[in-house]
A and B are shown apart, each in its own frame.
Chain A
Amino acid sequence: MPEIKLPCDVAGKVDAICERHGDNPGELINILHEAQHLMGYLPEEMQRMIARRLNIPVSKVYGVVTFYAFFTMTAKGRYPVSVCMGTACYVRGSEKLLDEFKRILGIDVGQTTPDGKFSLDCLRCVGACGLAPVVMIGDKVYGRLQPVDVKRILDELE
Chain B
Amino acid sequence: MKILSIGDLEAVRGRAAGRLQLREQGDRNADGRCCGLESGTGHMQVLICGGTGCKASSSHLICGKIKELLEEKGLSDRVDVVTTGCFGFCEKGPVVKIIPDNTFYTQVKPEDAVEIVEEHIVGGRRVERLLYLDPKSGQHVSDSKHMDFYRKQKRVALRNCGFIDPENIEEYIARDGYMALAHSLLDRTPEEVIEEVKRSGLRGRGGGGFPTGVKWGFARKSVSDIKYVVCNADEGDPGAFMDRSIMEGDPHSIVEAMAICGYSIGSSKGLVYIRAEYPLAIHRLQTAIAQAREYGLLGENILGTGFSFDIEIRYGAGAFVCGEETALIHSMEGKRGEPTMKPPFPAESGYLGKPTNVNNVETFANIPVILTRGADWFASIGTEKSKGTKVFALAGKINNVGLIEVPMGTTLREVIYEIGGGIKGGKKFKAVQTGGPSGGCLTEKHLDIPIDFDSLLAEGSMMGSGGMIVMDEDDCMVSVARFYLDFTVEESCGKCTPCRIGNKRLLETLNKITEGRGTEDDLKTLSTLGKVIKDTALCGLGQTSPNPVLSTLNNFYDEYLEHVRDHKCRARQCKALLTYVIDSKLCIGCHLCARNCPAEAIIGDVRKPHVIIPDKCIRCGMCMARCKFKAISVY
Contacts and interface: CB of A to CB of B under 8 A. Distances in A.
B167 interface: no
Interface string A75-105: 0000000000111111110001001100100
Contact of A85 (B238, B315, B352): B238
Most buried by A among B51, B92, B239, B278: B239
A105 B53 CA distance: 28
A71 B334 contact: no
B57 A88 contact: no
A24 B402 CA distance: 42
Contacts of A141: 56
Given A33-B276, A67-B337, A69-B317, A125 B622 contact: no
A67 B319 contact: yes
Interface in B77-127: 90-93
B238 A96 contact: no
Given A30-B314, A70-B276, A96-B621, A130 B53 contact: yes
A33 B467 CA distance: 28
A107 interface: no
B149 to A, nearest CB: 12
Interface string A118-157: 0000011111111110100000010100111000000000
Nearest to B351: A26
Most buried by A among B277, B317, B335: B317
A148 B592 CA distance: 13
B53 A70 contact: no
B483 interface: yes
B412 interface: no
A91 B317 contact: no
Contact of A87 (B53, B57, B239, B278): B239
A32 B598 CA distance: 42
A63 B598 contact: no
Contact of B318 (A30, A68, A134, A148): A68
A30 B291 CA distance: 23
Most buried by B among A30, A100, A128, A146: A128
A115 to B, nearest CB: 21
Given A33-B315, A130-B93, A91 B396 contact: yes
Contacts of A127: 51-53, 241, 244-245, 278
A69 B625 contact: no
B509 interface: no
Contact of B240 (A63, A103, A125): A125
A132 B471 CA distance: 14
Given A87-B433, A91-B396, A91-B475, A129 B401 contact: yes
B334 A27 contact: yes
A88 B396 contact: yes
Interface string B383-424: 000000000010111000110000000000000000000000
B239 A129 contact: yes
Contact of A68 (B53, B91, B319): B319
Contacts of A147: 620-622, 625
B334 A130 contact: no
Given A70-B276, A147-B622, A64 B52 contact: no
Contacts of B51: 127
Interface in B469-490: 469, 471, 475, 480, 483-484, 487
Interface in B18-67: 51-53, 56-57
Nearest to A100: B620
Contacts, number: 138
B240 A68 contact: no
Contact of B317 (A29, A90, A132, A146): A29
B577 interface: no
Contacts of A68: 316-319, 337
A25 interface: yes
Contact of B401 (A28, A123, A132): A132
Contact of A90 (B236, B244, B483): B483
B397 A92 contact: yes
A87 B315 contact: no
Given A87-B483, A91-B475, A129 B315 contact: no
B331 interface: yes
B620 to A, nearest CB: 7
A129 B241 contact: yes
A26 B53 contact: no
Nearest to A65: B317
Nearest to A99: B620
Interface in B279-334: 314-320, 331, 333-334
B491 to A, nearest CB: 8
Contacts of B401: 88, 129-130, 132
Contacts of A91: 396-397, 469, 471, 475, 480
A74 B171 CA distance: 45
B155 interface: no
B317 A33 contact: yes
Contact of A67 (B90, B314, B336, B621): B336
A89 B469 CA distance: 10
A125 B239 contact: yes
Contacts of B487: 124
B626 interface: yes
A103 B335 CA distance: 37
Contacts of B334: 24-30, 64
B317 A87 contact: no
23 contacts: A30-B315, A64-B334, A64-B336, A67-B319, A69-B317, A87-B238, A87-B395, A87-B484, A89-B239, A91-B396, A91-B471, A92-B397, A96-B621, A103-B598, A124-B318, A127-B241, A127-B244, A127-B245, A128-B57, A129-B90, A130-B92, A131-B53, A131-B57
In order of increasing CB-CB distance, the 8 nearest A-B pairs are A130-B90, A69-B318, A68-B317, A88-B395, A87-B239, A28-B334, A86-B238, A141-B56
Given A70-B277, A124-B487, 13 more contacts: A26-B334, A33-B276, A33-B315, A69-B318, A96-B620, A96-B621, A99-B620, A124-B236, A127-B53, A130-B93, A131-B56, A147-B621, A148-B625
